[in-house]
Structure 1
Amino acid sequence: MSPNEEGGAMSRDRRPITAVAGALALAGVLGLSGCGWLGQPKKASAELSEWFTVFSPVFRDGRDLPTRYACTTYPGGAATTPPLRWSGTPAGTRSYAIVMDDPDAESGAFVHWVIGGIDGTTQQLVEGARPTRAVEGLNTSEKVGYSPPCPPKGEEHRYRFTIYALDAEVPFRSGAPLKESLGAIAEHTVGRGRITGNFGSK
């Protein structure tokens, strides 16, 4: 099964990211940067020079993502979102958004999950959480919600969970296409952090 059918995680790595596949062409439309972050943040000041820390109680940055958070094609896969925690609240933060992608997908960076409207006082999401008032946009598969990691057998991919601190409460609508949701996140970003997990087999 390809990552386009089911599918991610993120860290502070700044390895190049290609444009999102298919009709999105996000490199040009949204200005995805060469280091894998969305656009040029609204406030490129000292706030953004101090990246906040993202971590998880179930995997370490750059290490393996447990099978539980992958697709059910893999034995033990439960297709649920992993618990995430972060520290540090940039000035002006009113909410958080999370974008999960796979930069190793065959057709380019594959977005598995876009969620926004997470309260600005929140510092963690428990496993499988869908916070009150949070909204989810479409992923690359044009489905709403979390598309778990599901790389082709014999391949290991990186899955990046990037958390964006935003100066708006809910910058995009539920079910918004990637062009809309990622554009809104880029426009309202005041800080960010990332954790990356690997999944699959070499």
Structure 2
Amino acid sequence: MFVAWLVGVPTTASAAAPAAFALSSTAFANGGLIPKIHECTSGGGNDPGKKNESPPLAWSGAPTAAKSYAIVMRDLDNANLIHWVVYDIPVSATSLPQNVAHVYQPPVPAGARQVYYRGSASLFGYQGPCSPSTVNTYEFVVHALNQASLTTLNSNSSTQTAAKAITAASIGSARITGES
């Protein structure tokens, strides 16, 4: 398992420093190459290795005040285009499996919701890297949230609206990046 580094965990002068909040994937090392199975299937071509499956992710050391988690994936080289938002992940979860179902309410993790991706492919959930002529950096950020559910979001929420709600409720985050 590869471990990424701590990002944006808030501290206060009166509180002890929180444990390191880390995000990792068994599919790729931080800063490493994202395997083709996690790349998009849109954009032409019939590469059988591309399956548009979300990578497995695991986190540890989240703030004890967390009430749920959310994950936001962005293409850092394409105007921070949001490729995936999954939220209302139960606080008891410490990982996501590979290939989270492409539905608003995936069966795993139970209770989670995903935002509809509107772009080259229109679907709920994960839209893998789609950079056929360049190598781009993709960032996965897990947020520990101060709410058990983001009740202002629903199946019609945009990725931008969801990302703003997640950032507003975040009490800590960890990230991992990959190249594709």
Letter matched to residue 85 of structure 2: V
Q: 1:64 aligns with which of 33, 38, 54?
A: 33
2:116 equivalent to 1:138: yes
Q: Which residue of 1 aligns with 2:131?
A: 151
Q: Work out which structure has the larger RCO, using CA pairs closer than 8 Å and 6 or more positions apart in sequence.
A: 1
- Using a 3 Å threshold, how does the CA distance of structure 1 residues 194 and 163 change in structure 2: closer, same or farther? same
| Contact persistence 1:67–1:74 (CA under 8 A) | no
Q: Which has the higher helix share?
A: 1
Q: Which residue of 2 aligns with 1:160?
A: 139
| d(CA) in 1 for partners of 2:62, 2:46 | 36
Query: What's the Cα RMSD here?
Result: 2.5
Q: Percent identity?
A: 30
| d(CA) in 2 for partners of 1:59, 1:133 | 27
Q: Which has the higher strand share?
A: 2
Task: Tell me how many residue pairs correspond in the alignment.
Answer: 160
- Using a 3 Å threshold, how does the CA distance of structure 1 residues 119 and 13 change in structure 2: closer, same or farther? closer
Letter matched to residue 80 of structure 1: E
2:155 equivalent to 1:174: yes
Q: String of CA shifts for 1:66-112, please: whole Å, max 9, x gaps.
A: 1110023472001010000111120211110000000112xx11100
Determine helix, strand or coil for the equivalent of 1:149: coil
| d(CA) in 2 for partners of 1:134, 1:83 | 15
2:69 equivalent to 1:86: no
| Contact persistence 1:48–1:190 (CA under 8 A) | no
Letter matched to residue 115 of structure 2: G
| d(CA) in 1 for partners of 2:16, 2:75 | 27
The alignment's TM-score, normalised by the length of structure 1, stands at 0.70
- Using a 3 Å threshold, how does the CA distance of structure 1 residues 174 and 63 change in structure 2: closer, same or farther? same
Q: String of CA shifts for 1:131-164, please: whole Å, max 9, x gaps.
A: 21111123462753211111032x1011111000
Q: Which residue of 1 aligns with 2:99?
A: 128
Q: 5+ residue gaps in structure 1?
A: 1-10, 15-36
| Contact persistence 1:52–1:192 (CA under 8 A) | yes
